Every structure is written in structure tokens, then in C-alpha cells.
Chains A and B, each alone.
Chain A
Amino acid sequence: MATKGESWLRSESAQGYALISPPAIYALLLLAAPLATILAYSFFKDGYLTVIHEFTLQNYVATWSDPIFRVILIRSLIVAGLVTLVTVGLAFPIAYYLSFGLAPNQKARWIFLITIPFWTSYLIRVFLWKVILGYNGVINSALEGIGIIGPNGLIADPLQMLNSVGAIALTLAHAYAPFAILPIFVSLEKIDRSLLEAGQDLGESRWRTFLRVTLPLAMPGVVAATLIVFIPTVGDYVTPELIGGGKMPMVANLIQAQMLPLDNRPMGSAIAVSSLLVVAALSLVFLWLNRRFLRVGK
């Protein structure tokens, strides 16, 4: 028996488990366990300054019957949907250019250029959009400078652009741009170039080859890009706070208010779990709608 145990210890999977266990245990303790704690707390009662560990569905009833929660959730989904549409739509041609229009030795340099803004101070980048879109901001002063805004111009008063869903969406679309480009780029890179030649040899036009060969093969990347932009943007806290001026809260702002200033942690947890379930359900529907394309890659 000892030899069997020994050979298992030396086996490939035993070594794999031994190697993966430090990061896996860390993720269990500091990711899975905390997420489970949120779930548990969402079923607890809130007492004054303390939490009563008794099972209740009250937090969920309160969350879903609150019209403010529904307005905020729908706003978050609309903003995230807009951001995803804009980001993925703008990103596809860039990914296409990176993959098909550049010499191999230039690709890494372009990707580096595209990812740099993503890594530089998120807060300050968001705030700069406030500077650009503000009442005395870059756009308004530029329009005043060329005479479009002003007493004799086309428009009398500076444009009111901040504190709107559009401004929040624009700012987030800028912040998440590289997140959309990279997955699409990766799936375009995987396409066998001879397939495209074959399409054209068989008499398809370049446009139809693109529609019938390139686009379907790039869909796994588009699907990944959509989810990787949509899910985090639903939960963005900074942009609604800075660009929406606090008047356009999204789900994260609601959760933060419950967790910190209001100190109702079971309620905050129930809001978080509810929003997460809605987002997960939408993501699954989206994956199901695209199942045809996702099977191709396997």
C-alpha cells in the first residue's frame, strides 16, 4: 500500500495540487469565504449597531419593494449596457487593425500604447472628464473660443453635460476601452488566415468573407469583451459619484451607503446579492444567445 501512496505523491496531479494550494487557499479564505459571508448576512436581521444572527427574508423583501432600488438598478444596467455597446463597438475596428493591419513586430508596441492609459490613476482620469465636460470645461470653452457658444453664437449658454447618464457612460467607456480591445484581438489572432483566402478564392467578396468567416470566428472574443466590460461597470462607484455629482447613484453607491454611513450591513449585503443575481442572470442569457458562436471555438 505504501508504494501506491508514494506513487500517488509523485504523480502529476499530486504535484499539481501541492503547487496550486497556496493561491487556492488564499482565494478560498479571502474571496470565497467573504462572498459567502455576504450571502449569509443578507439573511440576517439588522439590530441597532449590531447584527442579529437570525434567518429572515426581510432584507430581500425590503430591497425589491423599494422603488428607489429598482430605479437605481435599472439605471446601472442601462449605463453598463450603453458603455458596453460603445466600448465593444469602438474596440472592434481597433482589434481588427491590430490583428490584420500591423506587422507582427509592431503589435506588442500598439498594445502597450493602448493599455498604458488603463493603468494610470483611475480616479484622476475620471475627474479629468469632469474638467472636459464641465460648465467651464474644455469643450465649452473651446466652443466659446470659436464663437459657437456666446451672445452671438448658435447657442447662448454653455452646454450642460455633467450629471447625466450620457456623461457617466462616456467616462466609463473611456476607462474600460482596453478591456474590450484585448479579448477581441486575441480571438482575431487565432483565426487561420488561409480560411479568409479560401473564402475569397471561392468567390466571396472581402466584405462577405468578413461577415461569414471573420466575424463568427471573432464572436468568442466579442462575448468575452462584452461580459468583461458589462459586469464591472454595473458595479462602478467612482464615476457616478464624480461625474454624476452624487445625483445619479448606481448600485455601488447604494451599497456603499448601506455598508458605511448607514451601517445596515444585512441590507447592504441583500442589495449586493440581488444586483449580482440580476447581472449573473443577464450574463447567462447573453451567453445562451451566443451559444452558436461559442461552440465553434471548442
Chain B
Amino acid sequence: MKISSLKLYALAYLVFLYAPIFLLPLFAFNDGTIIAFPLKGFTTDWFAKMAENDTLRHALTNSLIIAVTSSAGATILAVFAARASTRYKFKGKGGIMGLIMLPMVLPDILMGMSLLLVMLEVLRVNLSIATVILGHVIISLPYAIAVLQTAFATLDQSLEEAAVDLGETRMSTFRLIVLPLVMPGIISAFLISFTISLDEFIVAFFLAGNQPTLPTYIFSQLRFPSAIPVIMALGTCLVAASILLLSVAEFFRRRGIKRTGAKDTGGFL
């Protein structure tokens, strides 16, 4: 196991991971209706067409509403779960956490179809973006918890004890000591959940009814060859947006770790 040849392999692997993404801008700025080589000329028409598209704007608005609401919900629930699982011992903790973290391994289609069944057959409610929000909270919750568990686990418990010794109540200790220290983790968890929701297709496909979201809109357009260049332009914007969101999330995650004085052991997920 030579490290230098491993490094070469790792770099090749990164190229494999990024290759499809590098193709996106090539076709988004390509002055041709067919997605194939050789490239024609440079154009920004597809971005202009994208901006004019009303259905797309509707889908974007829906997706943003869903992403903001569901990631706020997931982050709040994740604070409870991460705090409980890192700070307290109680019977059945493993089982309860196992249930909450289950969506990380369950195929998304199971979540989509089971929630569809409950909404239509048991609760008899109409599908809307509200039903998508409920589903997205369940899907992003485990990822938000994973980020927050690191934040809570690196907390030095003696800081809290000191605050209690100095006369603070448990609530005020949480507000004055714990919350500021885990704040970067909370922001990071919110951004991760936001990225997941914005990109989630299958649950939205089952639960949105006739409301478009960005991924369901993209999926419906992929069948029409003439719509592809606009989708490539949209994809370029989405990739840029999620790289930005994730970089900010990573920035806050690292700052949180630095604030609690722990060692950085790796990324989120």
C-alpha cells in the first residue's frame, strides 16, 4: 500500500465523482438544442428562457417554502434528539434513536408511499406542499441529528456545571452557555436539511399532488429533448447554489468545533 499511488487513485476518483457535474455548464452555455458533442457556440439564451418560465418559477417558490419550513422543523426536532442522546442516559434510547435515524437507510420510496397511504386513505387530506413538508422533516431529521450530535458531544460538561454552581437555572444555562456553543452546529444542520429538501424528488413526487417542486418539475421535463438545455441551465444554478450552501454549512460546522475546542474529526453525513 504505497501512499503516493493511493493519492493518484484518490485524485482519479475525485475526477470520476465530479465529471458529470463539469458537463453541466458546458451544455448550459452551449448554443445548440441537442445535448451532444461537439459543442456549438456560447450562449446565455437557456438562462434567459429559464428565467421567463412561469411553471419553473412556481416550482421554485414551492420548493423554497418547503425547504425553509421543513428544515426549520427538522433542525428544532434534531436539537431535542441530539441533546437527549448525547447528554442523558435512559432506557430504550438505542431503540428510539434507531427509529428516528431509520430514514437514513430506508429507501425513500417506502417513506413516500407509506405517507401517501396515510394521507389519502387514513387521514383523507388533500395532497399539497404541506404534506411534502411533513415528509421532508422525517427525511432530513437524521442528517440534522448527525451534525448536531457532533456539536453536542464536543461540549465540555464542566462549563454547564460551573454555570449551575454560579446560580443559573437549567434553562438559563442552556440559553446562555449551551446554545451559543452549538449555534454553528444548528446553522449547519439547518443548511444541510435545506439542501436535502431542495433536492428531494421521490417523496415530493408522491406527496405534492398537482403542485410542482423543482425536482418533480425537472423530472417531468427530462422526457422532452427540447426542454433539456433549459434544465441544464437550471442544474448549473442548482449545483452552484448547493455548493454555496454546503460551503457555508461546513464553515459553521468547523467554527462550532473550534469554539468548543475539540479536534476536527471529519465531515458531516
Q: What residues make up the interface of A, taking CB atoms closer than 8 Å to B? A: 12-17, 19-24, 26-28, 30-35, 37-38, 41, 51, 90, 93-94, 96-98, 100-101, 104-105, 107-108, 110-125, 127-129, 131-132, 134, 136-138, 141-142, 145, 174, 177-179, 182, 185-186, 189, 206-207, 210, 227-228, 231-232, 234-238, 242, 252, 255-256, 259-260, 265, 268-269, 272, 276
Contacts and interface: CB of A to CB of B under 8 A. Distances in A.
Contacts of B14: 113-114
A51 to B, nearest CB: 6
A141 B38 contact: yes
A89 B199 CA distance: 27
A265 B110 contact: no
Interface stretch (B17-25, B41-49, B153-161): B17-25
B90 A16 contact: yes
Nearest to B83: A19
Given A30-B138, A38-B117, A120-B242, 11 more contacts: A27-B138, A97-B9, A120-B239, A124-B231, A136-B36, A137-B36, A138-B37, A177-B17, A231-B107, A235-B110, A237-B202
Given A16-B90, A38-B113, A22 B264 contact: no
B40 to A, nearest CB: 13
10 contacts: A20-B96, A30-B137, A38-B114, A94-B13, A107-B264, A112-B246, A124-B218, A124-B232, A131-B36, A206-B1
Main secondary structure of the interface of A (DSSP, over half): helix
Interface of B: 1, 3, 6-7, 9-10, 13-14, 16-21, 23-24, 27, 34-38, 76-78, 80-81, 83-85, 87-91, 93, 96-97, 99-100, 102-111, 113-118, 121-122, 134-135, 137-138, 141, 145, 192, 195-196, 199, 201-202, 206, 215, 218-219, 222, 231-232, 235, 238-239, 242-243, 246, 250, 254, 263-269
A125 B20 contact: yes
A41 to B, nearest CB: 6
A114 B201 CA distance: 22
Report which residue of A37, A94, A119, A227 has the largest number of chain B beta carbons within 10 angstroms of its beta carbon.
A119
A236 B107 contact: yes
A237 to B, nearest CB: 5
